[in-house]
Amino acid sequence: MTVIKAIRHAEIPLNKEIMRRYIAGRSASQEITEHGREEAEQMGSCYLSQNYKPEFARVSPAIRARQTGEIILSICAPEIELITTDRLHEISLGAYEGKDRNEVYTDEVVAEIQKKLLDFKLPGTESMREVAERGIEEVLKLGRLYPDQTGFIFTHYMTISTMVGQILGLSHSQIRNADIGNCSETELVVIDGKIKVSHVGRSLIDLAA
């Protein structure tokens, strides 16, 4: 049994309410905010107080995910190497990243989304199903590499929500609206080549308060 703690990155400017009108996607150069740093430090302290000892760690190529992972590991497990994998990257929205949502998601595009659901994608982008499949591939690989061990993956909202959605058979709407906040923990367990979901979007910071 391999226990994997999937951590969504800490806050970035595009996560703030005033910026949510813009499409984020990968936005790989976005750095975490000062509040995000505080979130990651608190998360690391929570794991330290629990005496949690991860035995491996993987991270998305995005700067915000690496910053989150580095801060958390520096507090609870500084000896663990943080290894980058493209499979944990956020959904790719290509040339649409940074654009106003209202300009991109016209009535015609919304109708196409409702028709294709998890298989919808704009030209040059990824579908939600494709994100889920690459994320699950990485989780299963970790299950094979680290049997009977536990560790972190530092990743993104859509990567986590689509994986959970595919594992649990959730609808497009349920995946889009999953409650997975910044610096939250979703626990995945790999047993005999199958993935089980222990919990989704748990805030250790709120639980410790």
Q: How would residue 29 be classed by pLDDT, with cut points 50, 70 and 90?
A: confident
Q: How far is CA 37 from CA 33, 126, 129, 169, 201, in A?
A: 6, 29, 31, 34, 18
* pLDDT value, residue 18: 47
Q: Are strands 185-191 and 150-155 parallel, antiparallel or unpaired?
A: unpaired
Whether 209 shows a pLDDT value over 80: the answer reads no
How many domains in the chain? 1
CATH number at residue 128: 3.40.50.1240
Q: Is 16 helix (H, G, I), strand (E, B) or coil?
A: coil
* pLDDT value, residue 205: 73
Residues 17 and 176: beta-carbon distance below 8 Å = no
* pLDDT value, residue 16: 65
Q: Which two three-digit tokens encode residue 175?
A: 């995946």
The full DSSP string for 42-100 is HHHHHHHHTT---S-EEE-SSHHHHHHHHHHHHHH-TTS--EE-GGGSPPP-GGGTTSB
Q: Which two three-digit tokens encode residue 25?
A: 């996607």
Residues 40 and 59: beta-carbon distance below 8 Å = no
Q: How would residue 187 be classed by pLDDT, with cut points 50, 70 and 90?
A: very high
Higher pLDDT, 44 or 27: 44
Which range marks the domain in which residue 17 is found?
2-208
Averaged confidence pLDDT in the chain: 93
Range 35-42 average pLDDT: 96
Alpha-carbon distance 133 to 17, whole Å?
A: 30
Count of residues making up the chain: 209
Q: How would residue 30 be classed by pLDDT, with cut points 50, 70 and 90?
A: confident
Q: pLDDT tens digits for 58-101?
A: 999 999 999 999 999 999 999 999 999 999 999 999 889 888 98
Q: What percent of the chain has pLDDT over 90?
A: 84
